[in-house]
Chains A and B, each alone.
Chain A
């Protein structure tokens, strides 16, 4: 019991808000039963129209880092000056409530153009909150998207979003500590340490770090949250199994392959620094850190020339990395599709993508800018990450030994996949039985799929 709950007369109020939302929902939903829009399966008919190609566009953007916001605002005002008959009404939504706002809004209330989180795209498409956009953005824009982002942005063969940026995972190393232990960072995904070699590497490194725990996996991000599935599903992919195969988690997520891979992963906890404040790598307590590209600026600043980067360990079927992040979509009910398409084309143009990715340091998601990026271009500090993203699988049902970048499962049931996997991963990391945890997660996912008629 806490004061924060108390301060706002917690339970009744918290619940009444939740339940109030539910009540509103159910009444809307029940009303829909008798209405003309009632149908047991969502119709594929389009709710959007092209409009005049002029007028005012409503846009929802994520309230991100201030540099990103400034960049977006400048980009949008540039767009307005180059398209004098289109006005843009921007609204920034705070990150922590962005997903909830999308989830709880009715499709008709959504704006013409909005940012969406990569793994949620299939779910939003299923809820008709976003619309396929190939008819509204130019062919050139679509062609210029990298395969890695097309993987996350495509649902049932239709493109629902376009991306300015992507993301990737890597093993970041502290060269000074690696040298001390006689360990060399692999240079490419094909040279990645096998899981057994990695155990040996950790054992050697544990002798050279102050508390004998040389590995960081950003436990401070939490394993039950979205970071859990993003950061650690590469373990399964690298072992050779997707999380969902043929619309079912049973047989994939809880396969022997998956169980053995996560057992191996959990065995590294003894070498893992809890890193409660997320600074153990920067301060030299951790020699190897399992992390995404977004921490590069902080690592570069702390370690400078001692920062080295390499692939995650190979669990048998080639090293893998996660891919995918925030992208841009058309609102599922926009009546101004033509103008919205123009805005998306503009957002995906080279100068805009360069400006934006320079502001936040993310890998560009368009082919033309990725090659020339000052961070990710050939010979540049993070070229390794781009090489990984260029070797895109790109989705988990198309794993091969050579491909590296994989998008999280593209399914309308994603919310249940991420929450079930996160729960299982947390339990496994805490020492629970791996097979039992994964079986429970697989059952929860399959139950949700069956309850929802497989999201057909």
Chain B
């Protein structure tokens, strides 16, 4: 109705007025986008430019001394000073290890769980809730619980379970304190805590796969595995790509678990520290804002490269379709 009236009005309107209306219309886009753009500028772009500026200065929190321009010294330290660069590169390596394990494992596990809770069982809502629960626990609480699980003596939940199943032949192990298992322990805890988020997204994808495709497949005598490969996976491919992308981005943010476990127990810092951990502890625990800013800038460059590569790969996937 309104459409009709408008088109009539437009038809009868003189050309000049119509042009003016068009131009006011084209202003609407920027106006509508302005709030988001302003917020992005204030909270992302400007602070980041500030970080770049700060990375060239010797700048201490809590100091009345004026910042001193030191050029690229903080960047050269990141790669040349044995102490700073060792910690930084170690953190970088830990981030990549974490991402390399968590992205495939968590995505696969989330898919498995989604398939599980997609069934038509009585009381399925209860199972879905249970799987989803870790996600709503505060991380501080999760860290406390997992510290008890990973406790290094034979009273630790994991150690006593292992000892129970092996008849006491395997002694207790220091899961968080040993460089061999510290990152593994954090990976397990992280996956447990957040796998259900991916599960929920994949569950949505699964439920959108048309049911008649399965009927057609079973008429063609496709087995369950074959149905999964040829109906389910193609049906949720876009969801899977989205989930993998999201998991990658989040896995580079790894901070809370490492920080919380490190604050409250003996944990092998070297094999668990991450880039975010370095940036924040350098800036706020050591008051060294300039060095922290330089780390943040390098970190952003690295994450940008990873994101660009990933986008390339995903685009190729899309073009096959």
Contacts and interface: CB of A to CB of B under 8 A. Distances in A.
Interface string B60-93: 1111111110000000000001010000000000
Interface in A1-44: 1-6, 10-20, 22-27, 29-30, 32-33, 38-42
A419 B87 CA distance: 14
B153 interface: yes
B10 interface: no
Interface residues of B, number: 81
B231 to A, nearest CB: 29
A77 interface: no
A127 interface: yes
A104 B285 CA distance: 12
Interface in A404-456: 415-416, 418-420, 423, 426-427, 429-432, 440, 443-444, 447-448, 451-453
Nearest to A444: B83
Contacts of A320: none
Nearest to A445: B286
Most chain B beta-carbon neighbours within 10 Å: one of A2, A30, A129, A420: A2
Interface stretch (B30-38, B49-57, B118-126, B313-321): B49-57
Interface stretch (A154-162, A213-221, A353-361, A387-395): A213-221
A41 B64 CA distance: 8
B227 interface: no
Contacts of A12: 43-44
B257 A129 contact: no
Interface string A40-51: 111000000000
Interface stretch (B1-9, B202-210, B217-225, B267-275): B267-275
B251 interface: yes
Q: Chain A at the B interface: mostly helix, strand, loop or mixed? A: helix
6 contacts: A5-B255, A11-B276, A17-B43, A20-B43, A211-B155, A220-B264
Given A18-B283, A30-B67, A220-B265, 20 more contacts: A1-B251, A2-B139, A3-B135, A3-B193, A4-B139, A5-B250, A6-B194, A12-B44, A18-B279, A19-B50, A22-B289, A39-B66, A103-B61, A103-B62, A127-B64, A211-B153, A222-B264, A430-B266, A447-B83, A452-B58
Interface of B: 42-44, 46-51, 53-54, 57-68, 81, 83, 102, 106, 135-136, 138-139, 144, 147-148, 151-156, 174, 177-179, 190, 193-194, 197, 247, 249-257, 262-270, 276, 279-281, 283-289, 292-293, 296
